[in-house]
Amino acid sequence: MNTVEEDKIVTNSLSVKAIAIVELLEGAITHADKGKDALRALNSVQLLGGAGQFVARATDRYRLIEGKVEGEGHLDHSLIALDDIKRVISLAKDMKMALLTFTRVGNLLTVSVAGSAITIQLLDDNYPNSFNDLLNKEERGSLSVISFNPTFMADYAKIVGKGKAIKVEFTGEGKPMVIVLGGDKVEWRALLMPMRVI
């Protein structure tokens, strides 16, 4: 649906398949700041949509993620607290094959599906607006594209423990990655072979 302005209150709406929302939002919340001292703006997910896409973004200052799925309509930038995002995921999980509709009226967002609905008060905090600048490949210059199995990277995290750095040195496209692990009592060296993308 198109954006409508009535007495300066902006109204817009976007629809997307519930099954796509579950995967999109569960992925996005992995990068939201969940720490006890988290800024409210970073303990959230930003939703927006238009031109056939529905986008979810999250950041904890150290990493960021942006996911896109197909969507019909338009939704202005909407910053939603993490607890409310979990409510949306729960609603979408119950109706995976249905169409989920996000309707924004001012600072309220109503998420509805198959006769069920929740209304969310949007956050008015400032949110990083540099996602596009950071994610655009054109800005980075020459790239080496390396694919790897993320399960292997998770195994390195098990070795060094939470909160420890894992250094990855990329030696070139199609070449092994050098993994430097800092353990408490053990000095580790590892290589991770890239996956062949078929």
pLDDT tens digit string along 133-159? 777 755 555 666 778 888 888 888 888
When pLDDT is averaged across residues 38-62 and rounded to a whole number, the result is: 93
Q: Specify which residues 166 forms β-bridges with.
A: 181
Q: How far apart are CA 155 and CA 17, in angstroms?
A: 34
Kindly list the structural domains of the chain, giving each domain's residue range(s) and its CATH number in brackets, ordered by start: 4-139 (3.10.150.10), 150-192 (no CATH)
- Is the pLDDT reported for residue 2 higher than 80? no
pLDDT, one tens digit per residue, over 153-190 is 888 888 888 778 888 888 787 788 888 887 766 778 78
**Would you tell me how many other CB atoms lie within 10 Å of the CB of residue 67?**
18
pLDDT at 96 over 60: yes
Beta-strand ranges (E) seen in 39-131 are 44-50, 53-59, 64-70, 72-73, 75-81, 99-105, 108-113, 116-121
Encoded amino acid at 146, one letter: I
